[in-house]
Amino acid sequence: MAGENAEWWRGCVIYQIYPRSFQDTTGNGSGDLKGITSRLAHVASLGVDAVWLSPFFKSPMADMGYDVSDYRDVDPMFGMLEDFDALVAEAHRLDLKVIIDQVISHSSDRHEWFVESRASRDNAKADWYVWADAKPDGNPPNNWLSLFGGPAWEWDATRRQYYMHNFLAAQPDLNFHTPEVQDALLDTVRFWLERGVDGFRLDTVNYYVHDRWLRDNPPLASSVAGTNVATTTYAFQEHLFDKTRPENLDFLKRFRALLDEYPDRAAVGEVGDEERSLQTLAAYTSEGDKLQMCYTFDLLGPQFSAAHVRGCVEAFENAVVDGWVCWAFSNHDVTRHVSRWMRPGENPDTVAKFAIALLSCLRGSICLYQGEELGLEEAELAYEDLRDPLGIRFWPGVKGRDGCRTPMVWEAAAENGGFSTARPWLPVPQAHRARAVDVQNGQEQSVLAAYRSMLSLRKRHPALVNSSIRFLDAEGDVLAFVRERDDERLLCVFNFAGEPADWPLPEELGGIEPIAIAVDASGVLEERALALPALGCFVGRTG
């Protein structure tokens, strides 16, 4: 049943919080739910619509909470259920929606379901996980690979079978071909809906269902040709059978039907599907009976150019007829975008302001990651400081994800940047202190001020929230497009290049009235052309 604000998610701005690194109130060096609650006023001040909380459930923390041992409780590291209820109440008081991370493609190997499943081949939960016999020579049942390296199969001495794990061996995959598994997982979703959450971010949403015949994946053509530059072996296969199976659509319909029992709820799915990501996104968000929106990794990589952004957005617009996308430049799994995109000699503040101006003008919902509103760069950590199993295993070829997960900096002069009175679980880089919230608050030219200004601009102009997008031809590294809704038409132009560029105005645009935006380099209107500085931006009304 839809409420009065059933489509609040369409064009919304989401702020991702990594609980372990946001604010510690207990003095143990790790963030907690009370800490998040105490800092929600800062989040609200940005002008966002929702917060997304990365996992806070009970977990042995083999993968920092993405290995859940109890879907219905809070890990003591983060507090208690009462603390979560207080967080939701405060968020709603501040007019913020609460989205939680639902990690249901796999559980922890400590979850009671898996403990029972591995005990024998004939117990009540024997088929709740993906089990298979060894090949006659003792090898795993097929060639599927784990994203974290090696085979996606782990031998279990009790059942004398292999179990599947797309990630760590401590994260066994649930068997979605078993109806009782789907029922149990949906019951955990209902548990949080009853506690007042407004939505869910579905982790690895296209990994839920595997091929029931366990067919081998074919090699990826590029790896056969020797052109693959993958840092892990996972990228050498075309993942046809270990994920993105058609049966997943049926489960997503069940998930949506449950959401629709509650007014104004929504879900955003994480799609990691290599070359098929847009087709998967289209299928998962089509026809209004599955997910409201999804995001891909298209803009979370190293590519930083007008052609790349236009290509990604146009590909989505062409592939997705009635679905919706959520764009992001950073999250807890990738190098912070200021570090990814900053070229030698460039000012990180300029890159950060350019990025939020661009993100605010794109069609779709948008997601920000904690600390990007301060212009934080990726932290350089020593090997002995690492906590991420991916980085620990593949160092130094892969440094892991800890560099983007370091604690939030609130007060430049305070111990550990105001995050904790104890030694934090990850170091607070000295360079981050100079960008603390208390330093940037009140500074008109700060990155923080630019974020608040651009998000305010987005809210004031419906054409930026939910409207069409049409690209205009531009030479060089210039991106130009028009956002139009009802009687409002906005021209948005961005110069990605490290040098100035001139962009002739098309005759079709008519008169243009510039709109002031909070960037370091604004385009200047000169008769029928725009003069754009390096990393220059322009937004204007046009007739």
Question: Could you list the active site residues?
Answer: 203, 261
What letter does residue 500 receive in the DSSP assignment? -
CB 471 within 8 A of CB 480: yes
Can you tell me the distance from the alpha carbon of 417 to that of 428, in angstroms, rounded to the nearest whole number?
7
Residue listed under structure tokens 């993968």:
63
**CA torsion sign, 463 to 95 to 205 to 392?**
positive
- Closest-CA residue to 536 (of 342, 392, 358): 358
- What three-state secondary structure class fits 154? strand
Q: Which residues pair with 100 in a beta bridge?
A: 53, 200
Dmax (CA) of the chain: 79
Can you tell me the distance from the alpha carbon of 416 to that of 409, in angstroms, rounded to the nearest whole number?
8
Can you tell me the distance from the alpha carbon of 489 to that of 491, in angstroms, rounded to the nearest whole number?
7
b or e along 420-442 (b: 16 or more beta carbons within 10 Å of the residue's beta carbon)?
beeebbbbbbeebbebbbebbee
Residue listed under structure tokens 């790896």:
223
- What three-state secondary structure class fits 226? coil
Give the per-residue SS3 of 344-408. CCCCHHHHHHHHHHHHHHCCCEEEEECCHHHCCCCCCCCHHHCCCHHHHHHCCCCCCCHHHCCCC
DSSP string covering 41-56, please? HHHHHTT-SEEEEPP-
- Closest-CA residue to 495 (of 506, 479, 482, 484): 479
Can you tell me the distance from the alpha carbon of 363 to that of 483, in angstroms, rounded to the nearest whole number?
8
- The strand pair at 13-17 and 50-53 is best described as parallel
Q: Crossing angle of helices 248-259/179-194, nearest 10°?
A: 30
Tokens coding 498: 């490290």
Tokens coding 158: 């009790």
Can you tell me the distance from the alpha carbon of 249 to that of 278, in angstroms, rounded to the nearest whole number?
15
- What three-state secondary structure class fits 37? helix
DSSP string covering 58-75, please? E---TTTTSS-SEEEEE-
Q: How distant, in Å, are the alpha carbons of 159, 415, 428, 431, 438 from that of 412?
A: 54, 8, 11, 10, 7
